[in-house]
Structure 1
Amino acid sequence: MPDSASPLAAPSASPQSLKGLAPFLRPHRGRIFLAMLFLTLAAVTTLVLPLALRALIDNGFMPGDPDQRVMALRGHFLALFGVGLALGVFSALRYYSVTWLGERITTDLKRAVYSHVLRQSPEFFERTQTGEVLSRLTGDTTLIQTVVGSSLSMGLRNVIMGLGALVMLVITNPYVMAQVLGILVLVVLPATVYGRRVRKLSRNSQDRLADASAIAAEVLNAIPVVQSHTAEGREATRFGNSAEDAFSTGVRRIRARAVLVAFIISATAGALLFGLYQGTQSVIEGRITAGHMSQTVVYVILLITSVAALSEVYGEVLRAAGATERLMELLSTKSVIQAPAIARTLPARQGGASVKLDHIGFNYPSRPNQAALRDVSLTVNPGETVALVGPSGAGKTTVFQLLLRFYDVQSGRIELDGVSIQDLSLDSLRDRIGIVPQDSTVFSSSAMDNIRYGRPEATDDEVMAAAKAAHAHDFISQLPEGYQTFLGERGVRLSGGQRQRISIARAILKDAPLLLLDEATSALDTESERAVQAALQAAMQHRTTLVIAHRLSTVINADRIAVMDKGHLIDVGTHAQLMARCALYARLASAQFDDQAA
C-alpha cells in the first residue's frame, strides 16, 4: 500500500472513472460500432419474441377449420424459429465483437502502462512498491478485460431489453405501469446511496490485493536473504496476514454487494408482480386477451431479469472503475526527469567524451535534509581515466546516477561534451554512456541476448569478440548450448563473477564514449580480476572512464584519482601526489596495502 507520499494514492472510484479508457477505445471506433449494432439487434430480437408469442396464442388457437389452424400454427412457429435463429446469430456476432474489444483494449492498456512505468525516474520507485505496479498490470487489467469484453456488453444489452420491455409494458398497460414506475423510483434512490459504500469497498479490496502482491514480489526477489536468515516462517506469516486482510476486505465488499443485489431484485420483483397482478385482473374482466397477457408476462420476466443482471453488472463495473482509476493514476504519473521540448544533439566525436561537474549540490528526494553532494566540481578530459575513491556514503555512486540523469541536481551544472545534460534527450545522453554496475543484472534470456542488450544490432561475431575481451568466452562456450544457453531468472545459473563478466562484455560491446565502472571487478577472484582488468584497460583505450573502486590497487594507475568524503570532493591527483598530501587517501591506502601484505 503506498504511503501518503506515494504518487499512486487516490480517492475511491466511481463509474465515471471508466472515461479514462476513452483513448484506448477511440482507435477501435469501427469495431465498437459493429459491436453496438449486433448488441442492439440481439436485444431487439429478444424484444420481438413476446410479440411473436402473442400472435401464436391469439391467432393460432382461434376457432375455425382444423387444417387452417395447423397451417397457421406452422407459420407462427416458423416465425418464432426465425426470431430464435436471428437471436443466435446476432448474439454470436456480439460476443465475438465485444470479446475481441476486451482483449485488444486490455493489451493496449498493459503496453501503455508498462511503457510509461519504464520511463519513470528512480524517485518513483523509491516511493512505490514494485508489487503494487505488478498488481495493477495484472489484476486490474484482468478486471477491465472482464468488464469491457463481457460485463459491459451484457449490461448494455440488458439496458436495451429492460427499457424496451418497460416501454412495451407502458404502451400496453399505461395506468398500471405508471404505478409500477413510481415504486421503482423509490427503489433506485436508496440503491444509489448504498452503492457508494460498495464503490469504496471495491477500491479498498483492490488496494489490499496490491499490498499482498507487493509483499510477495519483494520477498521472492530476495529468497537467498530470506532463507539465510531462516525467515521463511515470518515472511509466510506476513504474507498470510496481508492475504487475510485482503480476504476480509473482499468479504465486506461481497456482503455489501449481496445486500444491494437482494434489495434491488426483491423490490423490483415486488413492483413488477404488482403490475402483473393488475394484468391478470384485466384478463378476467375481458379488457385484454390471453395472448396480450402472455406478452405482458414475458416482458415482465425480461424486465426483472434485466434489472437483476444490471445489479450484478453494476458491481463489476464498480470494480472495473476502481481498476481503471488505479491504472490511470499510473499513466498520469509524470517523471520528475523530463527531456526538454527541443533537445540539443551532441556533436559527433571519435574517442572519449568530456565531462564537467560544475559546483554540484544534490539531496536525494527521500532524504531532503541530508546532502549527498556539496559543491562538487570536477573536469574529466576526453580519453582520461579518473577514479572516484572514498569511504562508503562519500557520494561516488551518486555522481554516476547524476551523470545518467536518474536525478537532477539542485544546484550547479553537469556537462557532457560541453552541453548541459538537461538540454539533451534522455536517449541521446544515455546512448553515450556505458556502465558496469556493482550488482550485475542478467536477464532471463540467452548469454548472446544478454551481452547484446546495450547494442541490439550487433552481430554474433561482435558479441563473441566482446565476450572474449571480458574473459567470458571460455565459460560461455562450456555452457550446455553455448551462447544460446538460457541463463535463468536474474542469471541464477551463473556465479557472481560470471554475471559480472557478462555485464562487462555488455559494456564493451556498447562501445560508448563514456564508460562508468562501479566496482566492476568486485565479484571476481584475484586471477579473474587481473584478466578482466587487462580487458577493461583495452576497452578503455580512447574512451573516457570514470571508475569507482574501494580496492585502491585496481585504480592506482588511473590518470587521476578523486578523493571524496561525506559529499565533498577532498582532493584530486595521482596516487603518488595523494599519498603525499591527502591524509584520508593515505589512510585508506595504507590500511588496504597493509592488509594485503599481511
Structure 2
Amino acid sequence: MANDRWRAVLKTAAFLRPYKLAIGFSLLALFVTAGITLSIGQGIRLLVDQGFATQSPELLAQYVLIFIGLVVLLAIGTFTRYYWVTWLGERVVADIRRAVFAHLIELHPGFFETNRSLEIQSRLTTDMTLLQSVVGSSASVALRNLIMLIGGVILLFVTNSKLALIVVLSIPLVVVPILLFGRRVRALSRQSQDKVAVVGAYVGEMLGQIKTVQAYNHQAADKILFDQYVEEAFHIARHRTLQRAWLVAVVIVLVFGAIGMMLWVGGMDVIAGKISGGELAAFIFYSIISGSAVGSVSEVLGDLQRAAGAAERTIELLEEPCQISSPVDPVQLPVVRGNIVFQEVCFTYSSRPELQVINHFSLAIQPGETLALVGLSGAGKSTLFDLLLRFYDVRSGSIKLEGVDIRALNLSDLRRSFALVSQNPALFHGSIEQNLRYANPEATHEDIIAAAKAAFIHDFIVSLPQGYQTNLGDSGLGVSGGQRQRLAIARAILADAPILLLDEATSALDGQSENKVQQALAKLSAQRTTLVIAHRLSTVVASDRIALIHQGRLAGLGSHTELMQSSDLYQRLATAKFQTTT
C-alpha cells in the first residue's frame, strides 16, 4: 500500500518536469530567503553586543540599517518565492486535470457503469484543490522549514556548542511522535477523501434529479441519508484532525521544553560571564527558528500525507486501462454506404457475465434500407447499437462495416459513419447553436439554420428572445420532449453520416410532436441506411424490413405482413405492445 502511494507521488511529481525554470526560480528564492532569515540572528548578536553594549549611536544606526536591508531583501525573496511556487501549483494541477479528463473521456462506457461519474468529478475538484495547495504552498513551506531547521542547528553549534547539545538531544524525542502519529494520519487522510467524494457525488445526483426527488416528496429521506454521509465524513475528519492536533501539541511541548532548558543553562552562563548577552540572544533566535521549523514541518506533514492520498486516487484514474481503443495499425475504411453484417455475435456485460445479452446473432443489412428492430424490453436492441458504435466489443463473432471488422478500424472513422438519435437525447449546458454544432464543429451558421429547418425546429428557435444563442440548462432543461428530439435530429443532420441509428426516437411523444419528428426523420433517413428501434406500429410498417429480436437472438426477419403470418411472437407483440398512435 505504501509502495503504491509513493509510486503515485512520483508519477504525480513527473508533471513538474516541464517547468524546471520555474522550479529553479522558486528554489533560488527559497534558499535566499532562508539564508537571510538565518543571518538575522547574527544581526541580533551584533546589535546587542556592538550596538547596545557599546552605547555607540553610530554603530547602532549602522547595524539597524543592515537589519533593515536584510528585511527588504527578505521581502523581495519572499515575493519571488510566493509568486513562482503558487504559479507552479496552479500550472501543474491544470496539467493534471487536463490529463485526467483527456483520459477519462476516452474510456469505454463500461467503466462508468461500475464507477460513479459524480464521485470521479469530485476527484477532479476536491483532490485537485488539495494537490494545488500542496504543490503551490505546503511543499515549499516544508522545504523552507527543513532548510531553516538544518541551518538553525548548524548555527546553534557555531554560536554555542554546549547549549546546542541540549536542543539536539531533544530531536529524537520529536521525531518519534511524528512517525507514530504520521502513520495514523496518512491512513485516515485517504478515508476522509473517499468520504468527501461520496458526499459530493450524492449532492450532484440529488440535484441532477431534483424533479423526481420533489415529485415523490423524498426530501426528508434524502436529508437523513445525506446527514449520514456528512457525519461519516465528519467522524473520519475529526479523528484525523485529533491525531494531527496531538502531533503538533506533543512537538511544541518537546521542542519548547528543550528551549526552556536551554534558556536556564544559557542564562546561568550569562550571569557567570561565560557568554555575552548577544550570543544568548542569537542562540534564542536560532532555537526558536529551529523549534518553529520542526513544528511547521510536523504540521505540514499532515497536508503532504493527504496529498499523497489524493495523488494515489488521481493516478488510479490515469492508469485505468481503456478496453476499447483503435488498433495500432487500423484498416482504411472504404466508402461507407451502409453495408453492415452481424456474424454469430455473442455478448455479455462484464458486470453480468452470466447473462448472455446477445446470443449468436447474425444479420446482414443492405445499403440504403430502413430496418426496424423490434422485441420485448431487454431483448438486446439497444445493445446492438452499442456494439455497432464499439462502446463495447463482442465476446465472440464479428460485426463488419463495408466488409471490414469494426475492431480493425480507427474508432473515429467508425463512429463518424453513424448519427445517433436516442429516446432521451443528450443536450448540454450552453446555447442552442453550440448544441447543434456539437456534431460538426466546422458547420457554418447557414448550415445550422438549414439543419434546423429540415428538423422542423427553426420556427421554435427564432421565436425565442435570443434565438440560436438561447442558453439551455443542464441536460437541456427548458425545452419539451418533442423539441429536444427535433434538436437532436437537427444535430444528426449536421453530422451528415451515412448510417442513422434511431433508438425509440418517438416513443414518448404526443401525436402532434411525433408528427413533426416523423417528418424530420423522413428527411433525415432519405438516402441513408437507417436502423430504428421502434415502438410505434406506423414506424414498423413503414420500414423496408423488420428484425424481430428475442433474448438476444434473431427470431424473425421480413415485412410486417410476412412476420404477422410466420411468427406467433411477432403477432403477440404487434397486438399487445406496439402503440398505434400516429
- Alignment TM-score > 0.5, same fold: yes
Give 1:588 shift.
Answer: 1.7
**d(CA) in 2 for partners of 1:281, 1:15:** 48
**d(CA) in 1 for partners of 2:327, 2:157:** 63
* Matches for 1:84-99 after TM superposition, within 5 Å: 84-99=71-86
The structure 2 residue matched to 1:130, chosen from 76, 97, 117, is 117
SS in 2 for 1:371: coil
- Partner residue in 2 for 1:4: none
Q: Deviations over 1:426-462 (max 9, x none)?
A: 2221111110011111111111111111101101111
* Contact in 2 for aligned 1:187/1:268 (Cα 8 Å): yes
Backbone CA RMSD of aligned residues: 1.9
**d(CA) in 2 for partners of 1:415, 1:276:** 85
Structure 1 residue runs without a partner (length 5+): 1-9
One-letter amino acid of the counterpart of residue 286, structure 1: G
* Contact in 2 for aligned 1:13/1:200 (Cα 8 Å): no
**d(CA) in 2 for partners of 1:360, 1:592:** 27
The structure 2 residue matched to 1:57, chosen from 14, 24, 48, is 48
More displaced 10-residue stretch of structure 1: 417-426 or 439-448: 417-426
- Partner residue in 2 for 1:25: 16
**d(CA) in 2 for partners of 1:53, 1:98:** 30
**d(CA) in 1 for partners of 2:418, 2:226:** 40
Give 1:124 shift.
Answer: 1.0
- Partner residue in 2 for 1:222: 209
Give 1:115 shift.
Answer: 1.9
**Aligned sequence identity (%):** 45
1:341 aligns with 2:313: no
- Partner residue in 2 for 1:280: 267
Q: Deviations over 1:111-131 (max 9, x none)?
A: 221222111212111111122
* Contact in 2 for aligned 1:357/1:377 (Cα 8 Å): yes
Give 1:596 shift.
Answer: 4.1
Q: Deviations over 1:565-589 (max 9, x none)?
A: 1111101112221111122112222
Q: Deviations over 1:36-68 (max 9, x none)?
A: 1111111111011011111122222454xx7xx
One-letter amino acid of the counterpart of residue 542, structure 1: Q
1:164 aligns with 2:164: no
Give 1:321 shift.
Answer: 1.4
SS in 1 for 2:542: coil
SS in 1 for 2:170: helix
Give 1:179 shift.
Answer: 4.4
* Contact in 1 for aligned 2:40/2:70 (Cα 8 Å): yes
- Partner residue in 2 for 1:73: 60
One-letter amino acid of the counterpart of residue 303, structure 1: S
Aligned in 2, Cα 1:259/1:478: closer, same or farther, shift over 3 Å? Answer: same
More displaced 10-residue stretch of structure 1: 282-291 or 121-130: 282-291
SS in 2 for 1:454: coil
Give 1:169 shift.
Answer: 0.7
**d(CA) in 2 for partners of 1:233, 1:425:** 50
- Partner residue in 2 for 1:45: 36
Structure 2 residue runs without a partner (length 5+): none
- Partner residue in 1 for 2:556: 571
One-letter amino acid of the counterpart of residue 477, structure 1: V
- Partner residue in 2 for 1:305: 292
Q: Deviations over 1:259-305 (max 9, x none)?
A: 11111121122223333333333323333222111110110111111
* Matches for 1:240-251 after TM superposition, within 5 Å: 240-251=227-238
Give 1:326 shift.
Answer: 1.1
* Contact in 2 for aligned 1:16/1:321 (Cα 8 Å): no
One-letter amino acid of the counterpart of residue 36, structure 2: T
1:516 aligns with 2:501: yes
One-letter amino acid of the counterpart of residue 389, structure 2: L
TM-score for both structures, normalised by structure 2:
0.96
SS in 1 for 2:345: strand
1:361 aligns with 2:361: no
- Across the two proteins, how many residue pairs are aligned to each other? 582
One-letter amino acid of the counterpart of residue 522, structure 2: Q
* Contact in 1 for aligned 2:482/2:517 (Cα 8 Å): no
* Contact in 2 for aligned 1:14/1:199 (Cα 8 Å): no
The structure 1 residue matched to 2:303, chosen from 302, 316, 340, is 316
Aligned in 2, Cα 1:14/1:297: closer, same or farther, shift over 3 Å? Answer: farther
* Contact in 1 for aligned 2:346/2:397 (Cα 8 Å): yes
The structure 1 residue matched to 2:367, chosen from 382, 388, 400, is 382
Q: Deviations over 1:479-521 (max 9, x none)?
A: 1211111122212110111111111111111011111000112
TM-score for both structures, normalised by structure 1:
0.94
**d(CA) in 1 for partners of 2:551, 2:236:** 47
**d(CA) in 1 for partners of 2:157, 2:2:** 41
